[in-house]
Amino acid sequence: MKLLVTGGAGFIGSNFIHYILKKYPSYVVINLDKPTYAGNFESLSDVENNRNYYVITGDITSPTHVEAVFQNGIDVVVHFAAESHVDRSILNPNVFFQTNVLGTQYLVEFAKQYKVKKFVQISTDEVYGSLGQTGRFTEATQLQPNSPYSASKASADLLVRAYYETFGIPVNITRCSNNYGPFQFPEKLIPLSIIRAMNDESIPLYGSGLQVRDWLHVDDHCRAIDLVIHHGVPGEIYNIGANNEWTNVDLIKEILDKLHKPYDLIHFVKDRPGHDQRYAIDASKIKRDLGWTPRITFEEGLSETIEWYLDHEFWWKRVQEGEYRSYMALQYGHR
Ligand code: NAD
Ligand code: DAU
């Protein structure tokens, strides 16, 4: 099996490559990544000598780059590459549509031309928009994206779906809730909070802090994608989530408790424009049809993640250099 992983130098992609190389030692993995500020090949330094692992530095918005990769004979595409951060999509939406929509179109087009056996579009629960206090997103929930990021992901999902309907490309779309775990870029809430708390720096909490996210460990996400690759029914969408809802304020307090830091590090700041109130995934379809179930409790997963950031200062210090500083200044003002 020859697997093309796009965006493999990012958070979920790098965890996924580790997972696949360990579980399927005979599979060949090609990691196509640009990389952007969010990509870091160092996250895979431990597997760089694995003879089944190949890196191709290339841009999914370049049809020349993308076609060159498909000429290697690809069986399955797992498409993670994206601009992934909501706040950045508010500051600069354009690149989100270039990468997430146009880049996906090139990939699925060459997947068609080179007759791949499966194309897995890694999408997000954010395409469904926001929930009130009750209910959960199912695969049939109407798409109502509220941010430029989620609108670009929803657009990509629709074009992947169209390639299935029109050309019969064997696609699956997965829609997962918020992931956490090692190698997550520290612009996202959990690593941002861990690192800032460790350094006794204030943690910016948007608006009321009462928005709800449904957190899943990245390894549980990887196991779900594995099942979708091997058993997903072409054309089907699978929601992925662990039924693990937290308000942002309670989550940050949990992190502060685990690090023995005071709550007064929490600093309420201006709300995110268009901030979705609540996400919650109904994952009964993937549980029923593919036998997936999350294995990592939040208690153990969060503790391990905090430990990982405590032990990998060299990793997060490196990714905080350069571009990160100007982004933080733009997003949070004085930081
Ligand atoms: P990330 O930002 O950590 O990584 C994205 C990767 O894509 C980076 O390595 C980056 O270099 C690469 N990339 C970006 N533009 C590229 C381009 N033009 N050409 C080639 N590579 C490019 O993102 P992540 O959090 O790992 O998310 C991965 C995927 O999963 C995304 O599609 C995202 O929408 C989806 N998703 C993420 C979450 C989450 O909680 N993080 C949840 C559900 C779905
Ligand atoms: O739901 C899946 C999505 O989860 C993925 O599709 C996205 O790629 C991923 O970035 C994530 O999006 P969120 O916007 O939910 O994640 P983020 O970590 O940016 O924010 C989580 C919550 O915390 C959200 O309600 C906003 C809030 N927040 C975030 C930051 C960065 C704060 O209060 N302060 C902050 O500084």
Q: Which structural domains are found in the chain, ordered by start?
A: 2-180+216-243+278-296 (3.40.50.720)
Tell me, what's the pLDDT at 4?
A: 98
Q: Would you say how long the chain is, in residues?
A: 335
Point out the ligand nearest to the CA of residue 14. Answer: 1
| pLDDT confidence of residue 34 | 98
- 8-state DSSP, 102: I
Instruction: Supply the pLDDT for residue 186.
Output: 97
Task: Please tell me the distance from the alpha carbon of residue 69 to that of residue 2, in angstroms, as a whole number.
Answer: 12
Rg for the chain, CA atoms, rounded: 19
Pocket of ligand 2 (CB under 6 A): 84-86, 124-126, 177-178, 188-189, 192, 204-206, 211, 213, 248, 272, 279
| Ligand 1 neighbour 28 (Cβ under 6 A) | no
Average pLDDT of adjacent 10-residue blocks, the chain of 335 residues? 98 98 98 97 97 98 98 98 98 98 98 98 98 98 98 98 98 98 98 98 98 98 99 98 98 98 98 98 98 98 98 93 91 75
Buried b (16+ CB within 10 A) or exposed e, 244-265: bbbebbebbbbbbebbebeeeb
The confidence score (pLDDT) of residue 334 equals 55
| Rounded-to-integer distance, Cα 254 and Cα 302, Å | 9
Pick the ligand that lies closest to the CA of residue 89: 2
Ligand 2 atom closest to the Cα of residue 203 is: 36
Ligand 1 proximity of 127 Cβ (cutoff 6 Å): no
**CA–CA separation, 283 vs 221, rounded Å?**
12
Interval between CA 86 and ligand 2 midpoint (Å): 7
Least Cα distance to 71 among 4, 170, 169, 122 occurs for 4
Q: Which pLDDT value is given to residue 127?
A: 98
Instruction: Confirm whether 59 is a catalytic residue.
Output: no
| Given 125, 187, 214, 226, the catalytic residue | 125
Position 245 scores a pLDDT of: 98
Active site residue 313: no
pLDDT at site 333: 84
Q: Whose CA is nearest to atom 28 of ligand 1?
A: 80
Q: Which of 12, 60, 327 to mutate to test the pocket of ligand 1 (most atoms within 8 A of CB)?
A: 12
Query: Nearest Cα to 103, choosing from 201, 180, 188, 32?
Result: 32
C-alpha distances in angstroms, 146 versus 143, 180, 272, 274, 276? 10, 22, 11, 6, 7
**pLDDT value, residue 292:** 98
Distance CA 150, CA 143 (A): 10
Catalytic residue, candidates 33, 83, 109, 126: 126
125 carries an active-site annotation:
yes
Tokens coding 279: 């996400």
* Nearest ligand 1 atom, CA 84: 2
